[in-house]
């Protein structure tokens, strides 16, 4: 082959110099971890004697490390310190993050980097799209909220802090910490039992959820440490295709309303290999959720893993195909809970709880269709229909202050097709409580349950058999 002309080489060299002279420090801090094979358990099919069509398996987005190794696209890193972020734990660095986001959003595989060894304070911000695919928000240092209500800008929303909106193929990751500075929010006198002499005072009590993903698709959240949120740590609303793995979420046991991960109106979700300890539900699943797989999660102290609450203010709630497996729940007020309000409509169906280890848990297995936060809730004829719920290999110890199994179903619309298999729950301390509670609950013990749950009724009540289609979503 003949050598290239010198003029051609010269102009290529000049072009490279121009590209390298941009004002962005494009250091490659993006973590390219070794490939992990993410488990993708199939969504549970309804528990029924009759064959049922299984829904299509959910599509989970891949982690960045699982992208095609043959691609030539390299990440372009937008370091917030190059945009003027001080990272001293006191200066407001919001403007720098917004500017870095704006530039990263416009390129493929852009990375907004909050580097290690810095502490960044930012105020309530919406990071919106649409953006080019492959966008990464990477926190290797500390990212924190303003320090309590008094430091919160008056013009900012008090209901949310970081919001990611209208995004596709985005990853939120890093080796750093997201700090919520929640203590002063938890101590507000309007919080439960925080007022004088243990009272709860009336008045506005808005507190910000820490991280919210809204109307977005194909999301990956991985590796982060998230702690001390003023309210919910992480929320997903109106999303589809969510992969969450290897998170550490923590806040004190008595911190009010600090759910770890909350999802609603969200489909095709995988939550894997994470540790969550907080003052409310470890994971909560709201209305409009389907095809959710939770595997390898450790909860506690917490209020356990909850489906609901559902049907508030006579609303319709539809939840289907939820699988919880290989979980540990310890030192918690609840274990596996389904909670609905009186007066709602819709259904909860196709729920599987498999291979769960309990340790000192109160209300290990509970369906509560009389959920209410005050004393003036009245009984109503309408209810969310709970059906096709299977509990298999649920073992461990319970707090004897409450029976370990409690099925309180609607007076008019029974819970149906509850299946119990290999359930063995023993007291953490004290004597065995051998009287599980059932009200209008129908199902079977496939194996002997400890304690025995002979209160389950056989078959399906006539009104549900005849009008079950009315409760479907």
pLDDT at 8 over 90: no
More confident: 279 or 46:
279
C-alpha span between 359 and 361 (Å, rounded)? 6
The fraction of the chain above a pLDDT of 90, given in percent, is 71
The two three-digit tokens of residue 247, written as one number: 């998170």
CA proximity to 455, closest of 403, 413, 412, 392:
403
Least confidently predicted of 69-83, 230-244, 329-343: 69-83
pLDDT at 18 over 50: no
Active-site pick, 31, 59, 193, 303: 303
Structure confidence at residue 67 as a pLDDT band (50, 70, 90)? very low
Q: How many residues are listed for the chain in this entry? A: 473
Tell me the torsion sign for CA atoms 62, 68, 71, 75.
positive
Neighbours of 448 (CB within 10 A): 12
3-state secondary structure of 193: coil
C-alpha span between 473 and 465 (Å, rounded)? 16
Question: Phi-psi bin for 346: left (phi > 0), alpha (psi -120 to 50), beta?
Answer: left
**Residues whose CB is less than 8 angstroms from the CB of residue 43 and which lie 6 or more positions away in sequence, other chains included:** 54, 55, 57, 58, 290, 291, 292, 293, 321, 323, 350
Which pLDDT belongs to residue 466? 74
pLDDT at 15 over 50: no
Mean pLDDT in the chain? 86
Structure confidence at residue 181 as a pLDDT band (50, 70, 90)? very high
pLDDT at 135 over 70: yes
Q: What is the mean predicted confidence (pLDDT) over 304-321? A: 96
Structure confidence at residue 291 as a pLDDT band (50, 70, 90)? very high
Which pLDDT belongs to residue 275? 98
The fraction of the chain above a pLDDT of 70, given in percent, is 84
Domains in the chain with CATH codes: 81-186+205-465 (2.160.20.10)
pLDDT in tens, 220-238: 999 999 999 999 999 999 9
pLDDT in tens, 381-433: 889 999 999 999 999 999 998 899 999 999 999 999 999 999 999 999 877 76
> If you compute the radius of gyration of the chain from its CA atoms, what whole number of angstroms results?
25
The two three-digit tokens of residue 56, written as one number: 């299509």
3-state secondary structure of 13: helix
Residue 344: burial class (beta carbons within 10 Å; 0-12, 13-18, 19+): buried
pLDDT at 66 over 60: no
Which pLDDT belongs to residue 198? 81
pLDDT at 88 over 90: yes
Which pLDDT belongs to residue 58? 53
Active site residue 303: yes
Q: What is the mean predicted confidence (pLDDT) over 357-376? A: 92
Q: What is the mean predicted confidence (pLDDT) over 199-206? A: 83
Structure confidence at residue 57 as a pLDDT band (50, 70, 90)? very low
pTM value? 0.85
Structure confidence at residue 188 as a pLDDT band (50, 70, 90)? very high
pLDDT at 98 over 80: yes
Kind plus residue range of the DSSP H or E element containing 242 = strand 240-245
Structure confidence at residue 450 as a pLDDT band (50, 70, 90)? very high
């Amino acid at each position: 082959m003949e050598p290239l002309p010198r003029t051609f080489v010269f102009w290529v060299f000049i072009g490279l110099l121009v590209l390298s002279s941009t004002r962005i420090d494009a250091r490659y801090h993006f973590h390219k971890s070794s490939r992990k094979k993410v488990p993708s358990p199939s969504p549970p099919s309804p528990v029924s004697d009759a064959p049922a069509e299984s829904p299509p398996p959910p599509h989970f987005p891949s982690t960045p490390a699982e992208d095609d190794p043959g691609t030539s696209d390299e990440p372009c890193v937008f370091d917030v310190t190059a945009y003027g972020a001080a990272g001293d734990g006191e200066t407001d660095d919001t403007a720098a993050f917004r500017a870095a986001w704006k530039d990263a959003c416009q390129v493929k595989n852009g990375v907004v980097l909050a580097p290690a060894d810095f502490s960044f304070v930012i105020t309530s911000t919406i990071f919106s799209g649409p953006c080019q695919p492959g966008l990464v928000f990477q926190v290797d240092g500390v990212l924190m909220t303003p320090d309590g209500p008094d430091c919160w800008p008056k013009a900012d929303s008090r209901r949310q802090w970081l919001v990611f909106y209208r995004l596709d193929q985005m990853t939120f990751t890093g080796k750093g910490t997201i700090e919520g500075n929640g203590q002063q929010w938890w101590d507000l006198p309007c919080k439960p039992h925080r007022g004088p002499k243990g009272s709860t005072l009336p008045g506005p009590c808005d507190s910000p959820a820490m991280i919210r993903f809204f109307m977005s698709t194909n999301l990956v959240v991985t590796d982060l440490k998230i702690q001390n949120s003023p309210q919910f740590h992480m929320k997903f609303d109106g999303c589809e295709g969510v992969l969450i793995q290897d998170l550490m979420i923590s806040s004190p046991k008595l911190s009010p309303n600090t759910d770890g991960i909350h999802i609603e109106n969200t489909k095709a979700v995988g939550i894997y290999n994470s540790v969550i300890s907080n003052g409310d539900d470890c994971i909560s699943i709201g209305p409009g959720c389907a095809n959710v797989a939770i595997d390898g999660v450790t909860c506690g102290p917490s209020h356990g893993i909850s489906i609901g609450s559902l049907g508030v203010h006579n609303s319709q709630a539809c939840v289907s195909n939820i699988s919880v497996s290989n979980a540990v729940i310890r030192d918690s007020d609840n274990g596996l809970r389904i909670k609905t309000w009186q007066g709602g409509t819709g259904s909860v169906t196709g729920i599987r709880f498999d291979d769960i280890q309990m340790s000192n848990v109160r209300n290990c297995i509970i369906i509560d269709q009389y959920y209410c936060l005050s004393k003036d809730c009245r009984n109503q004829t309408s209810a969310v229909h709970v059906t096709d719920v299977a509990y298999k290999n649920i073992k461990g110890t319970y707090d004897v202050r409450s029976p370990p199994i409690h099925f309180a179903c609607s007076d008019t619309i029974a819970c149906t097709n509850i299946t119990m298999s290999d359930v063995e729950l023993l007291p953490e301390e004290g004597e065995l409580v051998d009287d599980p509670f059932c009200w209008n609950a129908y199902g079977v013990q496939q194996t002997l349950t400890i304690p025995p749950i002979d209160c389950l009724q056989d078959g399906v009540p006539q009104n549900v058999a005849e009008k079950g289609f009315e409760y479907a979503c």
